[in-house]
Amino acid sequence: MDRVSSSGIDLHTRVGGSFCAIVCSDRPADTLQKIGAEEGCRLLFHFLNRDVIRRIVPRSIHMAGKLEGKIAVITGGNSGMGLATAKRFVAEGAKVVITGRRQTELDAAVKEIGPNATGVRGDVSNLADLDRLYEVVKEKHGRVDIVFANAGVGELVPIGQVTEAHFDKLFDTNVKGLLFTVQKALPLMPDGGSIILNASIASIKGTPAFGVYSATKAAVRSFARSWTSDLKDRKIRVNALSPGPIDTPIFDGLAPTKEGVDKIKEGFVSTIPLGRIGTSDEIAKVAVFLASDDSSFVTGVELFVDGGRAQV
C-alpha cells in the first residue's frame, strides 16, 4: 500500500464488477487505499482520464505518461489536429517541437501547450525551413523520438478548373513537405522511433472536386508502406493516420463564406454513420496510441478515424 499526502479527496468507481476506491485524507497516516479486486483498480487507472487522475492524485506522486521523456516533432502544430496532438503528447510526458507558418498563431499555440513546447516558424514545403527546424531540435533536445508529419492543405477544385498553381501548392506541402519532414528527422531518430503520417480517407473516396488533394493523400499512404520496409532494420515504425471529416480550420478554406462551409459540413455529416464531424482531440488520442508502446507491434497500417465514413 503506497503512502500519499493529499487534501481530503475520495473517489469511488466500479470497473468490471470490481469496486475500487482512492481515499486520501489529511490524517498523518495518509494512504492510497484499494478496496476490492486488484485487477479492478488496475483497470481504473487504465481507463480513467489521465488528466482527471493528475488532479486527484497528489503532485508529490509522479505518474509516468505513455510518452514520458520522449521528444516529438509535430508539423502544423499551431492549430487543429496538430495542436490537439501536441497537447496530448505533453500530457503524456513528452516534449514537443511544433511548426507553423504564422508566428502569431505559433506563439499562441506554444503558450497554450505550456513550457514543454517549442515553436519553430516555417513552411514544410521549404527545405531550408525544415533544416532550421531540425537544427533547433538537435540543439535543444539532441534527438527526436516521434514525428507526426501533420501539416497539410486542401482545396476543392473540379478537374476542369485545376491549375498548375493549385497542383503545386497541394503536392509541395502534402507530399514533398511530408517526405522531407521525415527524411531530415532520420539522422536524429534513435532506433525504435515512431513516425505518424497524416493521411486522409480522401485517398479511397471519390469526393467531387477533391481529386488533387486525394492524390496527395494516396501518396502519403504509399509512403507508409514503403518506409516501413525501408526502416525495418532500425525498428522504426511508420503508420498512416487517416481522418475523416474533422472540425479544423482547413474547412474554412473550402468555401468563401461561413454559409458555404456549413453546407459542406452538412454534406459530410450525411455520409458519416456516427452522424457528426469528428474533433481534433479524437485524432490526437489515436496519435498518442501510434506514438506510444501501446502500438509496439503496429507498423505499415492505415488507421481510419472517420466515424465509419470510409468503412460502409
Instruction: Point out the residues that are catalytic.
Output: 213
Gap between the Cα atoms of 199 and 38, Å rounded? 41
Instruction: Work out the number of other CB atoms within 10 angstroms of the CB of residue 36.
Output: 15
300 conformational bin, left if phi > 0, alpha if psi -120 to 50, beta if neither: left
List C-alpha distances in Å: 120 to 98, 131, 210: 6, 11, 30
- Residues 293, 273: Cα–Cα separation, whole Å: 30
Residue whose C-alpha cell is 479492478: 40
Neighbours of 87 (CB within 10 A): 20
Q: From the CB of residue 221, how many other CB atoms can be counted at a distance below 10 Å? A: 16
Distance between CA atoms of 297 and 41, rounded to whole angstroms?
A: 26
- Concatenating the DSSP letter of every residue in 63-119 gives ---TTTT-EEEETTTTSHHHHHHHHHHHHTT-EEEEEES-HHHHHHHHHHH-TTEEE
Number of separate helices (H) and strands (E) present in the chain = 10, 9
**C-alpha to C-alpha distance for 127 and 203, rounded to whole angstroms:** 25
Entry field: residues in the chain: 312
Rounded CA separation 120/151 (Å): 13
